[in-house]
Amino acid sequence: MQAGGSFGCVVITGASAGLGAEFARQLAPRSARLVLVARRVSLMETLAQELRAQQPACEIRTWGCDLREAAAREALLPVLKAETPDLLINNAGLGDYGEFETADWEKVNAMLQVNITALTHLAKGLLPELIARRGAILNVSSLASLLPIPDFAVYAATKAYVTSFSEALRIEMKPHGVRVLALCPGPVRTEFGQVSRRSPDGPGMPAKKSFYVPKEQVVLETLTALEKGRARVYPALKTTLAARVISAMPLCVMRLVMGMRLRR
Ligand SMILES: NC(=O)c1ccc[n+]([C@@H]2O[C@H](COP(=O)([O-])OP(=O)(O)OC[C@H]3O[C@@H](n4cnc5c(N)ncnc54)[C@H](OP(=O)(O)O)[C@@H]3O)[C@@H](O)[C@H]2O)c1
């Protein structure tokens, strides 16, 4: 990482949509090179063209990869290592809204593979480069990581892993000068809500409209937190307050609240 919060090379997973694409937009003016990773290459290419026109000094590469697949990740890692990244943004992720009993195993497994295994695999694979460059890892977790959430049980548990892993890795990486930040957003309008549904008009995670935070604000506050070397960021005051309340809740109260299982 260079002075003033600028970067040599940034790897962003899940850059074809939502928060990942927004990270690319906000980082292009501050980076020499972006490497965008997701399955939908055409969406990333469209984004890359837009960013190349706005920021000719920033090189943008796209790489199609299904992060669920171990072999695809193994093929991706040497490519990413050769780019000598100084920031890894582990952003790709998905949810599945509904009871665990009736969940489709393929989707549950996709959540485990993308949200947990791929995030850990890329962090492990790129650590030597990140240590050499005294770089940073930004793991995209969720406010949901603080709560066991019925109807979102596996998703919330995958994010509990991400927050816990990030906190521990941050301590291990401190002597190496590598920053590790966990981003824990509340609801954000992206494709996430639609992908989480089990059918196009099926129920989704209940969240009040007023609780949503624009993706531009989420990314801006996150990049500021990264510059400041923070451990965790809950973008927007309302999310920070919610995190404080949740964290202060005795387990018996949390069980009572979550037992209400508000559905949409
Ligand atoms: N939106 C929210 O309310 C919210 C709240 C808290 C946390 N988050 C977290 O924020 C992160 C970004 O989500 P988002 O809201 O931006 O959702 P999104 O719009 O659905 O974007 C998800 C991204 O992940 C990529 N992805 C999913 N499965 C993949 C796979 N198998 N291989 C490679 N890439 C894959 C998608 O790309 P392709 O489909 O092209 O592969 C897409 O670029 C996720 O980790 C999510 O859990 C979101």
Residue 120 predicted with pLDDT over 80: yes
Q: How are beta strands 31-38 and 232-233 bridged, if at all?
A: unpaired
What pLDDT score does 208 carry?
A: 87
Exposure string of 126-157, with b = 16+ CB inside 10 Å and e = fewer, is: bbebbeebebbbbbbbbbbbbbebebbbbbbb
Residue 4 predicted with pLDDT over 50: no
What pLDDT score does 205 carry?
A: 80
Kindly give, in sequence order, each residue whose CB lies less than 8 Å from that of residue 145, ignoring residues fewer than 6 positions away.
Answer: 156, 159, 160, 161, 162, 163, 164, 182, 184
* Averaged pLDDT, 166-185: 98
> Which comes out higher in pLDDT, residue 262 or 87?
87
* Averaged pLDDT, 48-60: 97
Q: Tell me the C-alpha distance between 219 and 46, whole Å.
A: 20
Q: Which of 97, 155, 161, 234 is catalytic?
A: 155
- 155 as an active site residue: the answer is yes
Give the model's confidence band at 206: pLDDT under 50 very low, under 70 low, under 90 confident, else very high: confident
What pLDDT score does 255 carry?
A: 93
What pLDDT score does 260 carry?
A: 86
At which residue do the structure tokens 């509990």 appear?
160
Distance 15 CA to ligand 1 centre (A): 8
Distance 196 CA to ligand 1 centre (A): 10
The 3-state DSSP class for residue 232 equals strand
At which residue do the structure tokens 């962090």 appear?
123
Ligand 1 site: residues with CB under 6 angstroms?
Answer: 14-20, 38-40, 65-68, 91-94, 114, 140, 142, 185, 187-188, 190-192, 195
Give the model's confidence band at 19: pLDDT under 50 very low, under 70 low, under 90 confident, else very high: very high
Q: Tell me the C-alpha distance between 89 and 185, whole Å.
A: 15
Q: Which of 97, 124, 159, 215 is catalytic?
A: 159
Q: Report the mean per-residue pLDDT for the chain.
A: 96
Q: Tell me the C-alpha distance between 180 and 209, whole Å.
A: 31
Residues 217-261 pLDDT 10s? 999 999 999 999 999 999 999 999 999 999 999 999 999 999 987
* Averaged pLDDT, 76-80: 98
What pLDDT score does 20 carry?
A: 98
Nearest by Cα to 112 from 126, 97, 93, 99: 93
* Averaged pLDDT, 147-166: 97
Residues 136-151 pLDDT 10s? 999 999 999 999 999 9
Atom of ligand 1 nearest to the CA of 66: 32
